């Protein structure tokens, strides 16, 4: 810096001296005696210039040194008298300096040489070196602080180790209290629905109905009375209530005991069950009401008798341990059938798609819809990916019939055929990621969803028509009902009738699980259409190798929590999905087994098949692993984990579910 300034100051003097020297040389050419005084003058000027520059440099250096000293003194004074608690930490976490205000934060006057990590978690310097500006929140001695930090070079800094971390502590306790107060006083919107109202009213005498409703009102009002909120019955079976957010945790801690309390109201053969939906953390009360409506729709779609809490970005589920109640009325089936028929008539082409690794229920429902579309004079195709051993016999049988030429198409062809007037009908799933072709779903402008699984958090966006009934045994049952109302004279081929019947047989495990009156009515309808039970047996047959593999998996199962079987299919086996599903069913046939889970390799994922006899909710367990289904039949997929890790994760959520269930004073038999 000094050299630069000195250079600038001396440039003009050198120029002048050189000019005098040149002129003096010119004079010397004509008369050297005249040039001698000029040379003497030049030497004098040069000496004067050198002396002047030396003095100037000395003064400038002294000024800069004084300025630097003042700055350093100011910096030291600023650090020593900094108005916030300040701690200096070495890279290993050792505290090497702190100001007096820091003592008030930690309540300890001896902070020197303590490790910062022992005082505040998450402030280890070695873990923070990649951050330019460090910002954390911490709770210390019941106070809340915003901790801001930055790295600074030491005086002799040469390497990265020659740094220290400066941490500043800003007390934000009042802001945290204010935020908590704001959050606690936010309004929560809730909806309560008596989800079996029609069946309940039909099961009691006319004179007893007011008494039943009055008792339900009393239970619900008493349940939420401590919140001092607002409750209003706005329909015969629906209640709206508003209360402050602080009370929601009280409901959660009590595990929404209202679900069990109302079941004690017994005037007929049917117990009372409620569905409850909450909307929280919306921008305003109106948005919370929308969240509550979405929650109650989800709770009802999952079979009722449960609570769904919808946050801005997440969903929470509580309850849902009661089996779905079969609806006696078929009004909805008739309405859906008419609406679906209208959509088919308006479409130019119809694409039908089930879930990936489709089973007999998915294919049976697809073929039923295919026949309905053809009866309306429209072109239809079923989107099918790679071969699947679950339905290989049925596919081979269909390909032998020339009538089904061109029925199945690949994903790429389906996307090419897709247009604004193409109707996409998704069967046996409502989760976009589980469909045969999520890409086709993204390109579809009109989507219909037909499914019998309990609704999960993931759902196909904006379908034009939804028919999702969790009470139904299978999607084939729902499609069989729709076909009867959509076209009374509909003619099914033997292959189509057998596929629908086989779908019901598969999902009910030969009419032993999840069957109701409407299940047998659907089966009876298909039987009238010419179902050959011998052909069904052929479609469901196993070869000897598959049977042996299933037996080996059953033999390898181990029992946890006394009555829950867990097994894994060896990764070198073929047809793993088929073996896993059949092994899960077989394990339930053993005495003292209330639920079974079988894991298998599915490409790069681990698939889990869950089955139960009804008391143990396999859906609630597998939902924690991203899956879904029914209380008695459910599945899930885990990505990026080894089989051993997948088994550990599954066992963890099973044990967690059992402990929670037992904490309610119940026991899984």
The pLDDT tens digits for 385-441 are 876 777 888 888 888 888 898 899 998 899 988 988 899 999 999 889 889 999 999
Residue 313 in this model has a pLDDT that exceeds 80: no
Q: Can you tell me the mean pLDDT for 590-610? A: 90
pLDDT at position 665, please? 54
Q: Can you tell me the mean pLDDT for 140-161? A: 73
pLDDT at position 598, please? 95
Nearest residue to 14 (alpha-carbon basis) of 57, 52, 40, 61: 52
d(CA 634, CA 59): 88
Q: What is the dihedral angle through the alpha carbons of 73, 75, 76, 80, rounded to the nearest 10 degrees? A: 130
pLDDT band, very low/low/confident/very high, at 280 (cuts 50, 70, 90): very high
Q: What values do phi and psi take at 559, rounded to 5?
A: -105, 130
Show the tokens assigned to 540: 């469901």
Q: Can you tell me the mean pLDDT for 574-593? A: 88
pLDDT band, very low/low/confident/very high, at 5 (cuts 50, 70, 90): very low
- Lowest average pLDDT, out of 101-105, 304-308, 524-528, goes to 101-105
Higher-confidence residue: 540 or 402? 402
Host H or E run for residue 361: helix 360-375
pLDDT at position 48, please? 77
pLDDT band, very low/low/confident/very high, at 231 (cuts 50, 70, 90): very high
Q: Can you tell me the mean pLDDT for 169-179? A: 90
Host H or E run for residue 213: helix 209-224
Residue 322 in this model has a pLDDT that exceeds 80: no
Residue 330 in this model has a pLDDT that exceeds 90: no
Q: What values do phi and psi take at 444, rounded to 5?
A: -85, 135
The three-class DSSP label of residue 531 is coil
Q: Find tokens 């001695």 and name the residue.
A: 141
Higher-confidence residue: 608 or 264? 608
Higher-confidence residue: 106 or 554? 554
User: Please, what is the average pLDDT of the chain?
Assistant: 83
Q: Can you tell me the mean pLDDT for 11-22? A: 74
pLDDT band, very low/low/confident/very high, at 2 (cuts 50, 70, 90): very low
pLDDT band, very low/low/confident/very high, at 551 (cuts 50, 70, 90): very high
d(CA 267, CA 258): 18
pLDDT at position 73, please? 53
What are the distances in angstroms from CA 669 to CA 615, 632, 658, 662, 665? 7, 14, 11, 11, 13
Q: Can you tell me the mean pLDDT for 460-484? A: 88
What are the distances in angstroms from CA 606 to CA 389, 609, 643? 18, 10, 7
Higher-confidence residue: 500 or 320? 500
Percent of the chain clearing pLDDT 70 (strictly above): 89
d(CA 510, CA 255): 36
Q: Find tokens 């071969």 and name the residue.
A: 387
Nearest residue to 381 (alpha-carbon basis) of 340, 424, 346: 424
pLDDT at position 71, please? 43
Residue 619 in this model has a pLDDT that exceeds 90: no
Higher-confidence residue: 270 or 607? 607
Residue 347 in this model has a pLDDT that exceeds 70: yes
Nearest residue to 454 (alpha-carbon basis) of 595, 332, 627: 627
Q: Can you tell me the mean pLDDT for 239-249? A: 92
d(CA 577, CA 390): 8
pLDDT at position 373, please? 93
The three-class DSSP label of residue 152 is strand
Q: What values do phi and psi take at 166, rounded to 5?
A: -95, 125
Residue 60 in this model has a pLDDT that exceeds 50: yes
CA angle (233 as vertex; 227, 239 as ends), nearest 5: 65
pLDDT band, very low/low/confident/very high, at 650 (cuts 50, 70, 90): very high
Q: Pick the most confident of 85-89, 249-253, 317-321, 551-555.
A: 551-555
Residues 6+ apart with CB under 8 A from 604: 639, 640
Residue 303 in this model has a pLDDT that exceeds 80: no
pLDDT band, very low/low/confident/very high, at 69 (cuts 50, 70, 90): very low
pLDDT at position 232, please? 92
Q: Can you tell me the mean pLDDT for 216-245? A: 91
Percent of the chain clearing pLDDT 90 (strictly above): 24
């Amino acid at each position: 810096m000094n050299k630069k300034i000195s250079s600038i100051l001396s440039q003009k003097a050198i120029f002048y001296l050189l000019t005098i020297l040149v002129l003096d040389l010119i004079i010397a050419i004509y008369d050297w005696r005249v040039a001698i005084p000029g040379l003497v003058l030049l030497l004098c000027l040069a000496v004067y210039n050198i002396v002047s520059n030396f003095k100037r440099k000395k003064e400038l250096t002294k000024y800069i040194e004084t300025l630097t000293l003042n700055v350093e003194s100011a910096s030291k004074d600023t650090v020593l008298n900094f108005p916030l608690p300040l701690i200096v930490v070495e890279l290993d976490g050792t505290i090497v300096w702190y100001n007096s205000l820091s003592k008030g934060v930690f309540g300890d006057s001896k902070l020197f040489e303590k490790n910062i990590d022992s005082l505040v978690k998450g402030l280890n310097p070695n873990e923070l070196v990649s951050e330019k500006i460090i910002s954390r929140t911490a709770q210390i001695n019941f106070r809340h602080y915003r901790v801001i930090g930055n790295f600074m070079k030491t005086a002799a800094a040469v390497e990265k180790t020659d740094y220290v971390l400066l941490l500043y502590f800003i007390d934000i306790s009042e802001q945290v209290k204010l935020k908590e107060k704001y959050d606690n006083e936010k309004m929560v919107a809730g909806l309560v629905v008596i989800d079996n109202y029609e069946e309940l009213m039909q099961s009691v005498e006319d004179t007893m109905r007011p008494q039943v409703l009055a008792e339900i009102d009393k239970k619900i009002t008493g349940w939420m009375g401590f919140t001092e909120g607002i409750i209003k019955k706005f329909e015969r079976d629906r209640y709206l209530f508003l209360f402050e957010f602080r009370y929601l945790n009280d409901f959660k801690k009590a595990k929404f005991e209202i679900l069990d309390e109302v079941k004690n109201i017994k005037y007929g053969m049917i117990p009372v069950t409620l569905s409850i939906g909450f909307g929280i953390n919306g921008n305003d009360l109106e948005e919370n009401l929308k969240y509550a409506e979405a929650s109650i729709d989800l709770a009802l779609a999952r079979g009722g008798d449960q609570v769904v809490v919808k946050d801005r970005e997440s969903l929470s589920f509580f309850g849902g341990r009661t089996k779905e109640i079969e609806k006696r009325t078929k009004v909805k089936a008739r309405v859906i059938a008419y609406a679906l028929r209208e959509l088919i008539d308006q479409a130019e082409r119809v694409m039908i798609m089930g879930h990936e690794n489709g089973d007999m229920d998915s294919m049976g429902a697809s073929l039923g819809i295919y026949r309905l579309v053809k009866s309306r004079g429209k072109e239809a195709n079923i989107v099918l990916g790679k071969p699947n051993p679950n339905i290989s016999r049925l596919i081979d049988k269909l390909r032998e019939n020339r009538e089904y030429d061109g029925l199945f198409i690949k994903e790429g062809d389906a996307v090419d055929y897709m247009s604004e007037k193409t109707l996409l009908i998704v069967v046996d799933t409502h989760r976009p990621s589980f469909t045969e072709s999520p890409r086709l779903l993204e390109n579809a402008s009109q989507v219909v969803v037909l499914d019998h699984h309990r609704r999960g958090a993931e759902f196909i966006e904006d379908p034009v028509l939804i028919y999702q009934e969790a009470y139904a045994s299978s999607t084939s049952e729902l499609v069989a009902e729709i076909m009867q109302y959509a076209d009374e004279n509909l003619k099914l081929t033997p292959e189509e009738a057998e596929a629908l019947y086989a779908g019901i047989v598969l999902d009910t495990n030969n009419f032993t699980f999840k069957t109701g009156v409407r299940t047998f009515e659907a089966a009876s309808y298909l039987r009238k259409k010419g179902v050959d039970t011998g052909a069904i047996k052929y479609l469901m047959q196993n070869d000897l190798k598959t049977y042996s593999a299933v037996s080996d998996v059953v033999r390898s199962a181990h029992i946890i929590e006394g009555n829950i079987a867990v097994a894994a299919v060896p990764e070198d086996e073929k047809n793993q999905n088929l073996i896993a599903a059949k092994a899960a069913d077989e394990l339930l046939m053993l005495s003292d087994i209330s639920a079974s889970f079988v894991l298998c390799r599915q490409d790069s994922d681990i698939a889990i098949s869950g089955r139960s006899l009804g008391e143990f909710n396999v859906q609630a367990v597998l939902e924690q692993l991203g899956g879904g289904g029914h209380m008695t039949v459910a599945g899930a997929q885990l990505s990026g984990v080894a089989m051993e890790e997948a088994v550990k994760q599954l066992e963890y959520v099973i044990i967690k579910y059992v402990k929670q269930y037992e904490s309610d004073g119940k026991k899984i038999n």
